[in-house]
Structures are given as structure tokens and as C-alpha cells.
Amino acid sequence: LDGDGPIERYDLEHRKANRSGALRAAGEASWEKISDITDTQVTLSGLKFDSPFVVVRVRARNKAAAGDFSEPVAMETKAFTFGFDTATAHAELKIQGDMVTWEPQGVKGHDARLRGKENKNSRSATPSPNKTAGSRGGRERFAGEAYTVLGDQEINGGCHYWELRPLADWKSLSVGVAYRGSLGRFYQLGKSSASWCLYASQWLQSALAAKHGNRAKALDWPLPQRIGVYCDHDNGELMFIDVDRLRLLHVFRNRFLQPLVPAFTVSTTVLLQYYYTLWKSKNNITAWCC
């Protein structure tokens, strides 16, 4: 500030960019501003999966004057795409892209088809290095009343976020994570120590619960129409969020000793929309809405 007094606060501006080093924002997007920052760090919230980089610049201020903005810096916000591992899907689950439908064998006329919206970042996101789908035999396919399918990517570190939304006339579902190698073919999510899930049902009566180790904690909250899952593997946190109402539904705190995989159990007729982009935090940027 050229001797005009001590620094009292900071201003930060940020906007989206297409690639590292391209400091001109995509589509000449305007700068978004955060003013009157009194600390030396700040969290950017409300970021969306439509740009792989965020450009930031900062300046110091006091009562007398404001300094020049720093040189812009581009920070990468990587994402990994993943889908459903069809090799694990119960024989009565139909997988179509980012949708899962329960279709009991012998039942005809079930045509609850809805086209899911693709995440804009799914075409350009970094391919996952941890793909587990492949030429596995039927020994890994869930059976019995475990109408379950796993994601095809392992989570072995970092922070990840994804969402699902029931479509059509849904009845019940579970969403969560599991230790792949410790989840038996006949296990429903939450029935063992190898899985953690949020269970929702509107079949006969409404029910919402967090389940783990064959124990259920009932949650006093209306059934969410869009569920967000935030997994911090390193710090042992798994959060479930009612996205539409911006409500934290439940937090599991556990030391995860193995890689995790996203997991879904569909107990009755239900169609899921699965936002299959995972967010991984980098450079101290927080990119989720809560």
C-alpha cells in the first residue's frame, strides 16, 4: 500500500477459466468479488462443475487506499467421472448410463423411463485411474434381496461429492459407500460393518434413517428429493445432505481403513439419477454448497 498504513483487510476476485495458464476467463466471464476479508485465507463456495480451473487475484486494503491486484493465479479443480459397475449389479437391476431401474423378473409393462441430465463436466473430466470394472465373473453380482450395484471407481483418498435423485414413482432406496472386498453378495447396505448408507422409503409409510453395522438411526426429516453424499476419506467423514433444503442429514465419522466404493441398493421400483462426477478438493478450494 506504499506506506499508507497497515493492511486491514483484503479483496479477492475469482472467475472460471478453461485451462491452466489461460488467465482470460472462459467466455469473458466477469470477476466475482469477495470483499472485506480479515483473515489470510478464505473458502470459495458455490463453485460448479462446469470449468476445470478457477482464476483468483487478491489485493490489500486499509481505510486510506486499496493496493493493486496481484497477478492472477489459475488453480485446478479436478474431477473424476465414474459410472455403475454393471458386473456387480443385481440381475433385476437395469443400468442405463446414469440411471438404475429395478425390474423384477417376470414383471412386464414397467416402463418408467426418464432421461437423466448429464453433468457438463463429464465429457472433459480426468479419467479415473482407479477403474475397477472389467471382465469379472458373476461371482461379484449381488443376489437374493440385495438389489445393489456398486460404483466402478475406488475412493482411496481426498474429498468426493456426488448426488442422486429418485425419478418416477419411487418406493425405497439406500445410498452410501462400502468396502468392496468385505461386502458379501447377499448383503444389503448398512447391514454390516463394511457399509454406511442413508435409507429412504415411502413404501407403506415414510422412513429416513442412517444405517451401519446392522444398526439404524431414525432421522426426523422429510424425505429428500435430491441426496448429496460427501466423503472425506482422509479425515473419516461421510455426510448425507438434503440438497434442495440445504440440510445436513447425518454424519458418519469413522477411520476408513480400506478404499471405498459408492454403493446403491434399490429395494422396490425406483429410478435413480446419478450425478457421476466426483469432486476432489485441491489448493484449499471448497466447492460444495453447504
What φ, ψ does residue 117 adopt, rounded to 5°? -80, 135
Tell me, what's the pLDDT at 239?
Answer: 96
Contact assessment for residue 266 and residue 147, using Cβ atoms and an 8 Å cutoff: yes
In the chain, domain spans: 9-76, 81-279
pLDDT computed for residue 267 by the predictor:
67
pLDDT attached to residue 171: 83
Q: How far apart are the first and last CA of the chain?
A: 35
Give the phi and the psi of residue 286 in degrees, each rounded to 5.
Answer: -100, 125
**Spans of the chain below 50 pLDDT:** 25-27, 107-137, 269, 275-290
Burial group, residue 26, by CB count within 10 angstroms (0-12, 13-18, 19+): middle
DSSP code of residue 106? T
- Alpha-carbon distance of 254 to 233, in angstroms, equals 9
DSSP per-residue string spanning 49-63:
TT-SEEEEEEEEE-S
Q: Give the span between the Cα atoms of 142 and 87, in whole angstroms.
A: 9
The Cα 279–Cα 159 span in angstroms is 7
Output the pLDDT for position 80.
60
Q: What is the pLDDT of residue 165?
A: 86
Model pLDDT, residue 132: 44
* Rounded alpha-carbon distances, angstroms, from residue 17 to 103, 159, 184, 209, 277: 43, 22, 44, 40, 19
- What pLDDT is attached to residue 273? 52
Report whether 69 contacts 43 (CB < 8 A). Answer: no
Give the model's pLDDT for residue 83.
Answer: 84
CA nearest 16: which of 27, 6, 8? 27
pLDDT of residue 78: 67
pLDDT for position 238: 97
What's the confidence (pLDDT) of residue 219?
97
What's the pLDDT score for residue 16? Answer: 84
Note the residue count of the chain. Answer: 290
* Closest to 184 measured CA to CA, from 134, 133, 131, 146: 146
The two counts, helices (H) then strands (E), for the chain are 0, 21
**Fold of the 81-279 domain:** Jelly Rolls (2.60.120)
Q: What letter would DSSP give residue 4?
A: S
Q: Are the CB atoms for 116 and 99 separated by under 8 Å?
A: yes
Distances (CA, A) of 96 to 85, 102, 110, 271, 276: 11, 11, 15, 10, 13
- What's the CA gap between 148 and 1, in Å, rounded? 60
Tens digits of per-residue pLDDT, 76-114? 776 666 789 999 999 999 888 888 888 877 544 333 332
pLDDT at 179: 95
